Amino acid sequence: MATTSFYMTIPIFKIRFFLFLCFFGIGSSQLSSDFYSTTCPNALSTIKSVVDSAVSNEARMGASLLRLHFHDCFVQGCDASVLLNDTTSFTGEQTARGNVNSIRGFGVIDNIKSQVESLCPGVVSCADILAVAARDSVVALGGPSWTVQLGRRDSTTASLSSANSDLPRFDLSLQQLSDNFQNKGLTTAEMVALSGGHTIGQAQCSTFRTRIYNETNIDSSFATSLQANCPSVGGDSNLAPLDSSQNTFDNAYFKDLQSQKGLLHTDQVLFNGGSTDSQVNGYASDPSSFNTDFANAMIKMGNISPLTGSSGEIRTNCWKTN
């Protein structure tokens, strides 16, 4: 007696739909806002508590934690690879051109991880901690909130070469900057919104020296004031605020661009007679539209190539693999 195939008992349209799901990955694990609601219900409040304390102690830390998430997502996706120290099998990303002697906030992330591990061992990923800490930092400095999608897992490797090639340099043209973001699936409009993250924090002299001494699309008194703390030679690590209200998340960044007071070359290219001028004008006059677009762009950036399901791991320590 012939056996009946399992698939012969299922209508053909259901088989086709099942194959469609498998082919397009719709049935695979996805990020969700309530990922830890049952496995670690106090995770988000714990992260917020540590971030609020750190930012209260040093406002600049808010910008540093936001930047950590950005620099993580642009290299291998949002997988906490930026946190990994060098090993015998790979060189990490922390010595890349865009990171060396620059990215900071590792101690805050380690503090968060330690507290979350004591609550729910082996549950909350370092990649998710970075994403939530970035949101909570923005909120702590007066910026918008958004619902962070969760469920990322941590990578087991990092890539110095990818960090060197994928992180945007501070000397890019508008087209190059736009291409850099589009390579990560982000539009030019989203790039402008995300650039508004420079409304908080500071930058090192080495990143804006060429602009304040050689570029012409800069307010002369602004350039002169910066030169006092950023000599033409030396003082590479001396700091200057990225906008006129460095400790408050607002739209001052875009107003500064209108006045040719963008600190970095890649800031001022957003308002220099090009295609993004109108968007800058819009954000300068309507802070609520900036807040909305920034929050939406952060959600999209946080969805860049996450590891989910059984991929990667949940690191016990964020700076090393298990």
Nearest to 172 by CA among 72, 266, 236: 266
Q: What pLDDT does residue 30 have?
A: 85
Residue ranges for the known binding site for heme b are 198
Domain map (residue ranges) of the chain = 42-168, 174-301
Q: What pLDDT does residue 24 have?
A: 39
Q: Which residue has the tokens 């106090």?
A: 42
178 vs 18, which has greater pLDDT? 178
When pLDDT is averaged across residues 298-317 and rounded to a whole number, the result is: 97
Class in CATH terms, 42-168: mainly alpha
18 vs 269, which has greater pLDDT? 269
The answer to whether 119 touches 47, Cβ cutoff 8 Å, is no
The per-residue pLDDT for range 205-228, each reduced to its tens digit, is 999 999 999 999 999 999 999 999
When pLDDT is averaged across residues 95-105 and rounded to a whole number, the result is: 95
- Three-state DSSP class for residue 150: strand
Q: Among all residues, which ones are annotated catalytic? A: 71
Residue ranges for the known binding site for substrate are 168
Q: Which residue has the tokens 């309530």?
A: 34
Q: What pLDDT does residue 220 have?
A: 98
- The neighbour count for residue 6, using CB atoms within 10 Å, is 7
Q: What pLDDT does residue 7 have?
A: 40
Q: What pLDDT does residue 202 have?
A: 97
The per-residue pLDDT for range 62-88, each reduced to its tens digit, is 999 999 999 999 999 999 999 999 999
Between CA 310 and CA 244 the distance in angstroms is 45
Residue 130 has phi, psi (to 5 degrees) of -60, -45
Give the DSSP letter string of 26-60.
TTS---BTTTTTTT-TTHHHHHHHHHHHHHHH-TH
* Averaged confidence pLDDT in the chain: 92
Q: What pLDDT does residue 13 have?
A: 45
The per-residue pLDDT for range 158-177, each reduced to its tens digit, is 999 999 999 999 999 999 99
The per-residue pLDDT for range 101-130, each reduced to its tens digit, is 999 999 999 999 999 999 999 999 999 999
Report in angstroms the alpha-carbon separations of 254 from 5, 176, 193, 195: 64, 20, 10, 10
Between CA 85 and CA 94 the distance in angstroms is 8
Q: What pLDDT does residue 21 have?
A: 41
| Terminal alpha carbon distance of the chain | 53
The per-residue pLDDT for range 271-280, each reduced to its tens digit, is 999 999 999 9
When pLDDT is averaged across residues 95-106 and rounded to a whole number, the result is: 95
Class in CATH terms, 174-301: mainly alpha
Tell whether the model's pLDDT for residue 261 goes beyond 70.
Answer: yes
Residue ranges for the known binding site for Ca(2+) are 72, 75, 77, 79, 81, 93, 199, 243, 250
Q: Do 174-301 and 42-168 have the same topology in CATH?
A: no
The answer to whether 109 touches 263, Cβ cutoff 8 Å, is no
- The neighbour count for residue 270, using CB atoms within 10 Å, is 26
Residue ranges for the known binding site are 72, 75, 77, 79, 81, 93, 168, 198-199, 243, 250
The per-residue pLDDT for range 3-50, each reduced to its tens digit, is 444 344 444 544 444 444 444 333 335 899 999 999 999 999 999 999
